[in-house]
Amino acid sequence: MSAPKKTAGRSLLVASAVLSSLALAVPAAVAAPKPSDGPSASPSATPPASMSTVGGARLGRPGTQVNLASGVPVLPKDVSARSWIVADAETGDVLAAHNAHWRLAPASTLKMLFADTLLPKFPRTEKHKVLPSDLAGIGAGSSMVGIKEEETYTVHDLWLGVFLRSGNDAVHVLSAMNQGVENTVREMNEHAEELQALDTHVVSPDGYDAEGQVSSAYDLTLIARSGMQKKDFREYAATVSAKFPGETKKGKKGKSVRESFEIQNTNRLLAGDSDVPVYQGIAGVKNGNTTNAGATFTGVAERNGRVLLVTVMNPEKSEHNEVYKETARLFEWGFKAAGKVQPVGELVPPRSAAQPSAQPGANPSGEAGGAGSGSGTATGTGGKPVAGAPTAGGSSGVGTALGIAGGVLVLLVGGAFLVNRRWPLPDLVRRRTRP
């Protein structure tokens, strides 16, 4: 099923995107952000009085921002998150938001930026033997997929570990392959700036609590939108379960045997749980939870040809799986409100998309280039079918979006226009029943 075509009037939203891009050239806007609280402090319950206005002035205001009018459903009252956002992934419209630019600890949702930065660098078939130094510096109590020293893994294995188990060990091994953690952090910060995710400052590539490490609901949504345009990113984000290589051991006959074990995605809207059903149309993206961040989550879902992104950060309610429950409520509101509610802002394009060198229609497939991109298959090596794999000859083009990778907002003699690009979202997940 194809997403609805955009009207000509929709392209007028570009004007504010361009103005936002120009405004961001001001040095003060790109200064490294500081967290509202240090890692050892309890998160403040009060957002700053003044926040970034990237994407629109209303997004910089504290509190809930929504344009309620006749025919627009009322927002759910039982959403306790300190910050959240509901956006249309196709148009970039922000349908509603609450403290969208509040700089908070992101936890493992930051792994979306890690993946968006590093995925194009390594072919999925590349192999790496893990050295003890690769696993140095992993924070105490980190989520781990179970990587062992002196064992060899493919890049595909490592990304499964990152996306499904949120493995900090997999992040550190991939960082080692990328010339180390320090270099990876630098590249992640550069990529965040390119995406205009200016609330984001990376200190640890895995999202582990660190002094000065922050992001925002707005930024995490920008990052997810960028990542979802990469085929491999979409595949990993939508994989429910897979086989992961275990430790090599001596068998009964003295031969070396390496068995695998199953890993399952910790995204409860994708895999389900006792109190959270699989959300209809869910296609990823990433969850997180640390002491300082609380629970965080960014999700993407499709219904009736419309694709929404929702980010929820740190619900105050302490109920089990609360972050997923609040995300589901916001998705439900978004699908009912889309097409009826006047946007309160927009998701801005990346900096390179506003460069004169960007050409309209470039890379029309909608896939970001790079060795790790576009090589995905419907099933992972040793893994179960990807929940988001398009059916053969079926409806793979269920979503369209502004191109984030490769430059699609073109600035020509003071004028600008959008080039719409398609990125197929998972199809099988809409037909899956709860496990």
Q: Which of 344, 341, 398, 413 is nearest to 366 (CA)?
A: 398
- Residue 108 is among the residues annotated as catalytic for this protein: yes
Contact 311, 25 (CB under 8 A): no
Helix runs in 56-167, H state only = 111-118, 155-165
Helix or strand or coil: residue 148? coil
| Chain centroid offset of residue 5 CA | 24
* Catalytic residue selected from 20, 52, 142, 166: 166
Which DSSP letter does residue 282 get?
E
- Residue 166 is among the residues annotated as catalytic for this protein: yes
Enclosing H/E stretch for 290: strand 282-290
The amino acid at 67: N
| Distance from C-alpha of 62 to C-alpha of 50, rounded to nearest angstrom | 7
Q: Could you give phi then psi for residue 249, rounded to 5 degrees?
A: -135, 165
The token duo for 109 is: 């949702």
Q: Angle formed by the axes of helices 111-118 and 155-165, to 10°?
A: 160
| Distance from C-alpha of 62 to C-alpha of 51, rounded to nearest angstrom | 8
* Catalytic residue selected from 21, 111, 175, 325: 111
| Distance from C-alpha of 18 to C-alpha of 415, rounded to nearest angstrom | 9
* Catalytic residue selected from 20, 21, 83, 108: 108
Q: Angle formed by the axes of helices 181-194 and 111-118, to 10°?
A: 90
| Chain centroid offset of residue 340 CA | 26
Angle at 405 between CA 414 and CA 7, to 5 degrees: 60
- Residue 2 is among the residues annotated as catalytic for this protein: no
Catalytic residue positions, numbered: 108, 111, 166
